Structures are given as structure tokens and as C-alpha cells.
Amino acid sequence: MKSQLGADEARFLLEAQINGELPDERGRFGPFGGRYVPETLVPAFERLEEGVRRYLHDREFQHDYRRELREWVGRPTALSHAPQLSERWGTDVWLKREDLAHTGAHKINNAIGQALLAKRLGAKRVIAETGAGQHGVASAAACARVGLPCSVYMGAVDIERQAPNVDRMNRLGAEVVAVETGDKTLRAAIDEALRNWVTDPSGIYYLLGSAVGAHPYPYLVRELQSVIGLEARQQMISQAGGLPDVVFACVGGGSNAIGLFYPLLADDIELVGVEAGGTGDGLGENAATLATGTPGVLQGSYTMILQDGDGQVQETHSISAGLDYSGVGPEHALLQATGRVRYVSASDDESLAALEELCETEGILTALETSHAYAAARKWSQENPGKRVLIGNSGRGDKDMPTLTKYPARIRTHARA
């Protein structure tokens, strides 16, 4: 399968994407995407695709979805100016505050939308995977809200480093299933959720948490997350006096980034996705899939993945559980191939320092995932003084306390420096 695009093809695909023509009827974003799933799940995917076609843009569904976003999630979320950070960085910095959404991250936009869909599709129970635990908490809350039982698959490594979220899921009535296989992080959790789904494809609804996986998930998640970019666009115009010059978002699977970028694709704005640079450039030291990966099929989709020459998927490292994933959504693979979005990475240390700086300057404890976007925006600002910067503040950092308490000395040093 091919992954390189000629110049004409890239232009054509970008235009198709802006016009809302992607994914195509085969679930492709250009060469990327598709549906690589076991035969047992094919009918379930067809039902899901049919359900998405029937309900997602249906008036009644949209009415319910928007009401939940407004009255239960608390949307629109604020756009905050960041005066201290702006002064330090020499740019005009604005923050789209998904941390203020119910349960503390953008994940809820997708979770409540899919929970409403699961209900309409007659699901008996919901399963979900989680890395940072934010999608798990959002799924638990959304399932409680619509009245469906929920099981959340979570890698054993993540259960330890995101402990506060495990307790939250339990209290919200979800069962948390510890995944001890594979790399014991997000990828293993998705594998295990898929294995469970195969046991009852017609009764179970799989509430996937990022813009990854087989068609129609990357499309469905993008549509549900686009509310971020739609709101931010209007808020920038009315509050900041115009669109930003540049937008930063962190990229794990890519759901908050696609939600923020997608409504801005047609605008003359530089878009930058920030992946986890971990501790270095070597295979296994980071989760910078787009920057260092190669095309392949992982968990249902043809996309960029971190793999060795034999096609074995590699383990990743990131201080943030939500970015610690060897794949990425296929639409991001296309956005990289067409050159519309630039993908960079930020290291563990840079992200920790950025987290601390934001706490100190704006009084916001952001998630470790989100901190990566700040680290990259900070660097960019040094070279582009005076520009207007928008950062997707995808979630809050309370969940990261078990990790952060391991770095007290280092963080204090950074803050004083």
C-alpha cells in the first residue's frame, strides 16, 4: 500500500478534506484509514456505520447532543487570554479551556455523543479503553448519564500512574479491567477491549476514545470533537479580535487535535500537532509516531505507526499516559502527508517545565498530555515574537499527581530558573 503523495494529489486531497468529502465511502483519508478488523466484528462495524449515517446528523440526535453539551458538559468552554504567559513568551497567547469541560478534558465531548448513539443502537453494555483515564472517566460518566453499564480497559502501568482516575471511574459506576498483557498501556488496553467486543459484537457498544481505529471511528470522533474548533474560531474572532496565526494541540491518538484543527483547515493559520518526544529519538524512547514512524496497519487502520523492520509494533515511552501510543489517527497521517499540519515533538522534561510555568503564570494545572503543546508553543514563540497563538488546553492535571509528586525537586528548579 502506498503512503507518499504527489503534489497534485496532496492538493486534491486537502481540498476534499476541507470540503468534508473525507473519509471516502471506504473509510479512507487518501491512502490512510480503512477497516482492518476480524470477520466477527465486520457486521458490528457495518451496524455502527449505518447508525452513524442515520443518527449523527439527524435533528433529534443533534438536539439531544447539543443539550447535553450545554447543560451537562458545560459548553461552550471558555477561551482564556494568558497575559503573564504572553508577557514571558513575547506572543499573544490564548487558551481553549477543555479542562473546564465536565470530568476535566475534551474526552467528554466524544463520550457523551457516542453514549447517546449507543443508546439509540440498542446496546446492552458499553466498553471503553483508557490511557490517562480521562476517556475512562468520561465514558463512565456518560454511561451513567444515559443509563448503560460500562467496563473500562486500562493498562496496569496506567492504573498506577493515573490512580486518581481509577477511583473516579469506580465511583461513577464503571468496572475497571486491569490489562496485564502486551505493553500494559493504551495499546494493550485497545487490544483487550477488541477481544472483549468479539465475544458479543451485537450486544456491546465499543466507545473508542480517540480519532483512531477502523472506520467509522476516526470520522465519528472527529465530528464529535469538532465543537472545540468551531467554538474556538468564533471566540477568537470575538474576544481576541481575529484568528490566531498559529494553533498548537497535543497528539496522542489525535482527537483533541483533530477537533481543534478540522474547523480551521480552510483558514490561513499554521497548525502544529505536538507528539510525545519522551526521553530521546531512539525507537522505544518516545511516542512521536508521525515524526519517526512508518506506515502500517495497527488496530484497524492503515496509518503511521512505530514499528520495526519486521512490522512488529514497538513499545513507546512518554511521561504522559494519554500520548503513550504507537499509532495515530489516520486523518493526521494524511494531514502530515499533504503538509497542511506540521507535527513536532516535546520531551518529557520540556513538558514538565511547561506544566510548571503554566501553573505559576496563569494558575492552571494542566494535564501532562497538554503540557506538550505548551512546550512546543513556547519554543515557537521565541522565534515568532508578536504573533497570536492559540493552544488547545485539552485537560486538567489533577490526575497526574502520582507522576508529578515524583518530580518535586526538578520542577522547583525549573520554576526558579
Ligand X SMILES: Cc1ncc(COP(=O)(O)O)c(C=O)c1O
Catalytic residue from among 107, 139, 285, 371? 107
The least distance separating other proteins from the CB of residue 285, rounded to whole angstroms, comes to 17
State which of residues 148, 319, 364, 367 lies at the interface with ligand X (CB under 6 A).
Answer: 367
From 404, 387, 394, 403, select the one nearest 371 (Cα to Cα): 394
Q: Which residues contact 320 (CB under 8 A, 6 or more apart)?
A: 132, 252, 276, 351, 367, 368, 369, 371, 372, 400
Task: Verify binding: residue 381, other proteins, rule CB under 8 A.
Answer: no
Specify the DSSP element, H or E, that contains 59. helix 59-68
Position 105 contacts ligand X (CB under 6 A)? yes
Least distance from C-beta 29 to other proteins, angstroms?
A: 15
Distance CA 364, CA 356 (A): 9
Nearer to other proteins, 58 or 200 (CB): 200
With contact defined as beta carbons under 8 Å apart, do 323 and 254 qualify? Answer: no
Q: Of ligand X, other proteins, none, which one sits near residue 11, judging by CB under 5 to 8 A according to partner kind?
A: none
Spatial CB neighbours of 196, under 8 Å, sequence gap ≥ 6: 127, 151, 153, 204
Q: How far apart are CA 415 and CA 417, in angstroms?
A: 6
Going residue by residue from 24 to 43, which x/- string records binding to other proteins, judged by CB under 8 A? --x-------xxxxxxx-xx
- Residue 107 annotated in active site: yes
CB 137 within 8 A of CB 371: no
Q: Is 223 in the site for ligand X (CB under 6 A)?
A: no
Contact predicate 22/331, CB 8 Å: yes
Q: The C-alpha cell of 163 is what?
A: 490512580
Range 89-128, binding other proteins (CB under 8 A): none
In the complex, least distance from residue 36 CB atom to other proteins, rounded to whole angstroms: 5
The closest of 58, 47, 51, 49 to 27, measured between CA atoms, is 49
Closer to other proteins by Cβ: residue 250 or 305: 305
By CB under 8 A, the count of residues binding other proteins is 36
- Residue 382 interacts with other proteins (CB under 8 A): yes or no: no
Q: Could you tell which of ligand X, other proteins, none binds residue 36, using a CB distance below 5 to 8 A set by kind?
A: other proteins
Decide which of other proteins, ligand X, none touches 255; Cβ closer than 5 to 8 Å per partner kind: ligand X
| CA atoms of 326 and 89, how far apart (whole Å) | 32
Nearer to ligand X, 27 or 218 (CB): 218
- Chain residues in the site for ligand X (CB under 6 A): 105, 131-132, 134-135, 210, 250-257, 322-323, 367, 369-370, 394-395
- Annotated active-site positions, please? 107, 129, 394
